[in-house]
Structure 1
């Protein structure tokens, strides 16, 4: 079969779309090359497969936003391919079936299998690219929605001032950490901490400097913990909770002492000069609890230890 000539003017009139990575699956070599040329002219990067099996193999290592697949292929049809792709949890793909079928029953069958659109193999280049452009537009909108969902999720679990986790996140995640520790018989420690004499900072320097002190404090804590293991949340006001998975009490105390020392020797620069402040720490571990391994009991014990540090004169660690 000779590859059809691409009518240049007709193709250009369809307009350009920002490039996507497109998977093209068709067992007809000449038709595959023809469609590939159209897609590349439109600015898309094209990955080509001669069979549905090869297409699935490509998708495993090369995520593609748009998929064009022939319906009629030997052994493994385009419908089978659509259904297989939809079973995967690899993000959203816009799937277009290339076909000569056009009855209502066939359209329903294709859409039910997971296709988003149809293109007749006899369609003009401008129609083909218009449908691909439509798919690219839908993919872009889908990405925007996913980004918005991610931002909303982050707002729901992050403290807006310090960007560490909030109290809601603590109450959601800590019970799971405790359950995991009990199941696998591993230790878990919690540190309760707050800034010493924080009211003096607010009264003496103003609430804007007080907010900066909270951000400085949260950043100092976060940057000196095990990344992707330990986590910090703002418990309320100037009080923060640090969760240390797989950490026995002794190690938790060493971590708290390290944080206390770093903060004591750190200086925050403000418009009115340098500001130095300290913090008090209380440490509790699951093994410190007598019988009931519950979140409330663990947090209460850490809070009691923090209160002990304040009674000792502040800027110290109690456990």
Structure 2
């Protein structure tokens, strides 16, 4: 327990009340109290005077409640004051105080209020933990019927491990419905979510049984595709974008235009060590699609975020060679291309898996 008051008498009074049941730390002003809160993780509750030098109780409350650290931001804070005016209590409550205790309160009342507050905090934290566990155990998004992000990550880790062990292809595609924000403003969130569910059904209908799709943000989806290489993933993105743009979706008899952006990443191209990194690469390319005004950003179009690695460079070169038509290159260059393509074929045959 941390007791902050510029009056030594008040500090010692509360310390004697609390000391029988709790370890107590004392500070004489708001700045010293804030430093204690910031640096001492053993503090589980704060008692603070409201009228203090350097930093008053209201300012201290503001710092605590606006902290980026959840441990600090969620600390129970009890305001202690000799000012019994209702306006003072309301101001303390508005600033984030969990309770208000008069300095003249006797020991039994103080301890009773503390126990009630601790019980309330414990119940609240247990509820939050229960909700977090429930979110992790849920497998499907209630709006679109696609997988939850947590479950996609679980499935993606299995696919990534399998692909790494067996030298198999694995690709990830991030898809965002760019027109969703305007749509929600036009028709309302409930109707927009119904249309989003229809779009999700269109996406799902294009997937194989071994593919997984999740809604990872309000209008963003992530697809994990086993056995799919870079060219196939980009072709799938182009086909899906064409279907979305050509979809006959209407609202109140008026056609609704669907615009979308895509970003793709593949294990055979991107030097990554986990499914999370592969997903991050796909999301970075999705963001690049917005910045570059390109609907689809895959591999050769993406601006690399760091130095390329040797395996990725080799794979990228092989993809270019495989897509090269040697005929228009002329006799000498065409012969060189043909020989390189034969080397590509030998390289492919010798690859693991």
TM-score (norm 2): 0.45
Per chain length, whose mean CA-contact separation is higher, i.e. which structure has more relative contact order (CA < 8 Å, sep 6+)?
A: 1
Write 1 or 2 for the structure with the bigger share of strand: 1
TM-score (norm 1): 0.49
